[in-house]
Amino acid sequence: MDTKNNKTGNAYTFSDLFAGIGGTRTGFERAGCKCVFSSEWDRFAQQTYEANFDEAPLGDITEIGSGNIPDHDILVAGFPCQPFSISGVSKKRSLNKPDGFRDPIHGTLFFEIKRILRDKEPRAFLLENVKHLQWHDKGRTFKIIMRTLANELGYAVFYKTINAKLLVPQNRERIFIVGFKKWLPFDFP
């Protein structure tokens, strides 16, 4: 993979949303990319992230204006899965709480990704979530996400479910959604 921005000759830059403790950042940095912004609301994850990278991520992305986010080449976001996962939906419904986009705390965070993609127009993005995202609400949730990314925002979008057991000792299937502002031939590894 070419890790240099063809326009500037510098490393590709990325923003790390819903950063957790920085696992995705680690992968992008190992590939030669440079993190210019990170956001994570959980204070314990923030502390670990700071210990890992000598910088604290900013907090709740819903409270951070797009103007406070530097321009970047790639947006990376592993947005919360609780509103879409089988166990999360089951738990919420057993407690008579809303799931999916109707969950007022975690369910609407995809639309923060939309806002930042719209306002910052990065060249590419990588989103990650549970594989059940594809089938949540009889597939309607995923259709909204794909329509938003492709039709509203103009990205060429690709997706694939990948099992982490190919790379780490755990059986964890996740969906990865990749988009490019300009169409590029793309195949998942």
Q: Which two tokens mark 68?
A: 């406070």
CB 57 within 8 A of CB 16: yes
Which own/partner pairs from 103-111 qualify as long-range (CB within 8 Å, at least 24 positions apart)?
Answer: 106/80, 106/82, 107/83, 109/18, 109/61, 109/62, 109/79, 109/80, 110/79, 110/145, 110/148
CA atoms of 91 and 89, how far apart (whole Å) = 5
Q: List the beta bridge partners of residue 176.
A: 128, 160
Task: Out of 19, 81, 109, 116, pick the active-site residue.
Answer: 81
35 is catalytic: no
Catalytic residues: 81
